[in-house]
Amino acid sequence: MSDWDELEALRIARTGQRIEDLFAAQADRATAFSASTQDLRLDYSKTLIDDAVRAALIGLCERTDLASRRDSMFSGAPINQTEGRAVLHTALRNLDGGPVEVDGQDVMPDVLQTLQRMRRFCDDVRSGVICGSGGTISDVVNIGIGGSDLGPAMAVRALAPYHDGPRCHFVSNVDAADIADCLRRLDPGRTLVIVASKTFTTIETMTNARTARAWMSMGGGDPLRQFAAVSTASDKTADFGIPPEQVFGFADWVGGRYSVWGPVGLALMLAIGPQAFDAFLRGGQAMDLHFQSAEWGENLPVLLALVGLWHHQVCGHATRAVLPYDQRLARLPAYLQQLEMESNGKRVAMDGAALNIASGPVVWGEPGTNGQHAFYQLIHQGTEIVPCEFLIAAQGHEPDLAHHHRLLIANCLAQSEALMRGRSLDQARAGLSGSGMQGEELERQARHRVFPGNRPSVTLIYPQLTPFMLGQIIALYEHRVFVEGVILGINSFDQWGVELGKEMATSLGPVVDGSQSAAGRNGSTMALVEFAHRHGAAD
């Protein structure tokens, strides 16, 4: 019997079992099915995972040689086998660790030197040493896409209470509305633009960058002083007119969706300052150390991954909802959507053979409590089970409004309990007993008020969302994705699925602008291009 067959048998054997019954049978279940590190607590007790299921899931770690794969990643081995690259975003936050070698060369001196250059640059911008034609920099516009946008945009918003630098804005969409809406409210003489593109050829990013440069020039700004780049293409950044001292590169062993820890995080460092950025890095480093040292049954990234595998690959739940009860984490679901779905949305194993098991789930979500008045209806009473991941801090950053946060916590905990407990038909009938309804009408109305319950969730709880804590949370999810990928036998660090659409968009550009015929395209594309031309696309 394979590992997956064993887990399937365990699932079938638990058909009809309720999560509440597990609590009744084990007084210390909440403790036994939780794990902590650095004041970050993961509670996965509100799932149907029991001792036998957990043991079988942990067995996956042993039989896929997770420890060896983990060590290979941290040591700089080329575990991204389809591209022949190391995977070393962890080196960007290795502030206290020793050497990390890639092809026999220690990469840490370059990492630390780049970090020091970022600190100096940010200090100079924040203090006014580097300024615009109109004075001290008041606003920063980060132009990127994918990992060059989602990570810093999410983190800047998350750490708003720590902002003491220029305001940060993010432009990613090639839709003109994105950059137009951003720039129209800014002063060209006091704006710094960061162009984040490793190759400096990403079509969406470079289109927006050229538009920003023209806006700045026409508005009296100085593009020579007021542009910085996050790129390894020093020749192209020079051609664009960006001084070399304002260009920050990173190696090809840092994937875009894992890159917020280095130069891609430049906007974050400008917003919160080098000291708070260092705390962010140290939070990620703390999770790295935990991931490397904790036993599987106490290892937060491993446990979070195993819970996800149980729910998706074994139980067949197609999606996962990430529900941060923190308005400042509004972009976290989108960030994790890319992290998980770009990493583990694969159909073949490392050896190129077709997977014989489902790969990654659909990841989605919104902050609570907004979601409670939107899609929670489906989560509670829909026909599909959606495992939920709640995130909540014990305290917020607004002490004068502490009653808001207490209500927020109450809502978060109530939702996970309601998903687990539900409401039976008898309870629904009892609730309507004083309404005056009776007979068939009471029965009909009661059925609308039944909640099946037994819907699984996990909760991450922590004292407060600080730079250190955010670093821990992001690194936790990064390692969770890695663990899932190892167990599924896939490469979590390439993204060939992103490339095909980009290639086809490039070839369709001349067709859309009218300089090339659409002949030979499929009928649908030809008809859609014709419609776009008829309504002004080629004007």
Per-residue confidence (pLDDT) for residue 507, from 0 to 100: 87
Lowest mean pLDDT among 324-333, 408-417, 437-446: 437-446
Whether 539 has a pLDDT exceeding 90, the answer reads no
Looking at residues 65-78, what average pLDDT do you find? 96
Spatial separation of the C-alpha atoms in residues 446 and 314, rounded to whole Å: 33
Per-residue confidence (pLDDT) for residue 144, from 0 to 100: 97
Give the confidence band of 499 by pLDDT, cuts at 50, 70, 90: confident
Question: Rounded to 5 degrees, what are φ and ψ at 435?
Answer: -85, -10
* Cis status of the peptide bond prior to 369, with omega within 30 of 0: yes
Looking at residues 494-503, what average pLDDT do you find? 85
End-to-end CA distance of the chain: 64
Spatial separation of the C-alpha atoms in residues 506 and 414, rounded to whole Å: 49
User: Is 180 strand, coil or helix?
Assistant: helix
Which pLDDT tens digit goes with each residue over 508-537?
989 998 888 888 889 999 899 999 999 988
Which pLDDT tens digit goes with each residue over 341-375?
999 999 999 999 999 999 999 999 999 999 999 99
Parallel, antiparallel or unpaired: strands 227-230 and 191-196: parallel
Residue with tokens 């902050």: 367
Whether 503 has a pLDDT exceeding 90, the answer reads no
Per-residue confidence (pLDDT) for residue 292, from 0 to 100: 98
SS3 content of the chain, % helix, strand, coil (to 5): 55, 10, 35
Of all residues in the chain, the percent with pLDDT exceeding 70 is: 100
Per-residue confidence (pLDDT) for residue 494, from 0 to 100: 93
Give Rg (Cα) of the chain: 25
CB 226 within 8 Å of CB 193: yes
> Sign of dihedral through CA atoms 139, 140, 145, 151?
negative
Known catalytic residues are: 342, 373, 502
Spatial separation of the C-alpha atoms in residues 419 and 19, rounded to whole Å: 10
Spatial separation of the C-alpha atoms in residues 185 and 391, rounded to whole Å: 34
Per-residue confidence (pLDDT) for residue 193, from 0 to 100: 98
Q: Which helix (H) or strand (E) holds 461?
A: strand 457-462
Whether 219 has a pLDDT exceeding 90, the answer reads yes
Domains along the chain? 18-47+294-420+455-481 (3.40.50.10490), 89-277 (3.40.50.10490), 422-454 (no CATH), 496-534 (1.10.1390)
Which pLDDT tens digit goes with each residue over 168-198?
999 999 999 999 999 999 999 999 999 999 9
The pTM is what? 0.96
Between the alpha carbon of residue 40 and those of residues 111, 395, 406, the distances in Å are 28, 13, 19
Mean residue pLDDT of the chain comes to: 96
Looking at residues 431-457, what average pLDDT do you find? 94
Phi-psi region of 144 (alpha: psi -120 to 50; beta: other; left: phi over 0): beta
Per-residue confidence (pLDDT) for residue 272, from 0 to 100: 98
Which pLDDT tens digit goes with each residue over 255-292?
999 999 999 999 999 999 999 999 999 999 999 999 99
Which pLDDT tens digit goes with each residue over 4-47?
999 999 999 999 999 999 999 999 999 999 999 999 999 999 99
Per-residue confidence (pLDDT) for residue 1, from 0 to 100: 63
Looking at residues 221-245, what average pLDDT do you find? 96
